[in-house]
Amino acid sequence: MPDRQKKAEREIYLGEFEQIVLLAILRLDQDAYAIPVREEIEARTGRRVARGALYTALERLEAKACLSSRMSEPLPERGGRSRRYYTVTPAGLAALRASRAALLALWKGVESRLERP
The window from 1-9, 28-36, 89-97, 108-116 that contacts another protein (CB under 8 A) reads: 28-36
**Which whole-number Å values give the CA distances from 94 to 53, 70, 73, 100, in the listed order?**
23, 21, 30, 10
C-beta closer to another protein: residue 79 or 117: 79
Rounded Cα gap, residues 77 and 57, in angstroms = 25
70 near another protein, rule: CB under 8 A: no
CA distance 30 to 33: 9
CA 96 from chain centre, in angstroms, equals 8
Q: Judge whether 22 and 59 are in contact, CB under 8 Å.
A: no
Residues 97 and 104: their CA atoms lie apart, in Å, by 11
Please select the residue that binds another protein; options are 5, 31, 42, 55, rule is CB under 8 A: 55
Stretch touching another protein by CB under 8 A, among 24-32, 33-41, 92-100, 105-113 = 33-41
Q: Is 27 in the site for another protein (CB under 8 A)?
A: no
- Min CB(73)–another protein separation in Å: 11
Residues that bind another protein (CB under 8 A): 13, 15, 33-35, 50-52, 55-56, 59-60, 71, 75, 77-79, 81-84
